[in-house]
């Protein structure tokens, strides 16, 4: 059986009738729920939001969509921050274009950033004039 199968497979490959697919990268889906009670320190903002993201582990490409509503005023800044556990603050890792909702973006991460993101050590923070330290925030998780 093996002697017959190999010539057939080889012939199909040569004729272009059988393709070998490249190894697929692992695309990891990520999310965050943005709210004032997640900010550090917490606030009573009526604003809410969400982050839907995908991280390609082969290319280290992070693509994301941030949606929000009900903020106290216009968005003045937005960022991915890390590394930090839930309830802790950290520096800016990736700036997000502070635009109207929804915000779509992408960033290629280095190895340490990728490890921090996959370990749940990043959060998204949306800043307004009334809440310059962050009005709504959410930890990015799988």
Residues 6 or more apart whose CB falls under 8 angstroms from that of 134 comprise: 39, 40, 125, 126, 127
pTM above 0.85, yes or no: no
pLDDT above 90: residue 10? no
Q: What's the pLDDT tens digit per position in 51-94? A: 999 999 999 999 999 999 999 999 999 999 999 999 999 999 99
The residue with greater pLDDT, 18 or 91, is 91
Per-residue pLDDT, averaged over 15-39, amounts to: 76
Residue ranges per domain, the chain? 24-139
The DSSP bridge partners found for residue 104 are: 65
Average pLDDT, the chain: 89
């Amino acid at each position: 059986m093996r002697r017959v199968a190999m010539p057939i497979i080889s012939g199909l490959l040569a004729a272009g009738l059988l393709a070998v697919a490249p190894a697929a990268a692992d695309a990891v889906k990520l999310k965050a729920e943005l709210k004032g009670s997640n900010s550090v320190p917490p606030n009573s903002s009526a604003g809410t939001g969400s982050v839907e993201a995908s991280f390609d582990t082969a290319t280290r490409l992070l693509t994301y969509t941030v949606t929000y509503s009900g903020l106290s005023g216009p968005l003045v800044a937005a960022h991915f921050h890390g590394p930090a556990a839930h309830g802790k603050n950290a520096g800016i890792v990736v700036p997000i274009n502070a635009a109207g909702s929804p915000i779509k973006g992408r960033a290629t991460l280095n190895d340490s950033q990728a490890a921090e993101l996959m370990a749940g050590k990043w959060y998204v923070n949306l800043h307004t004039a009334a809440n310059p330290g962050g009005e709504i925030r959410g930890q990015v998780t799988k």
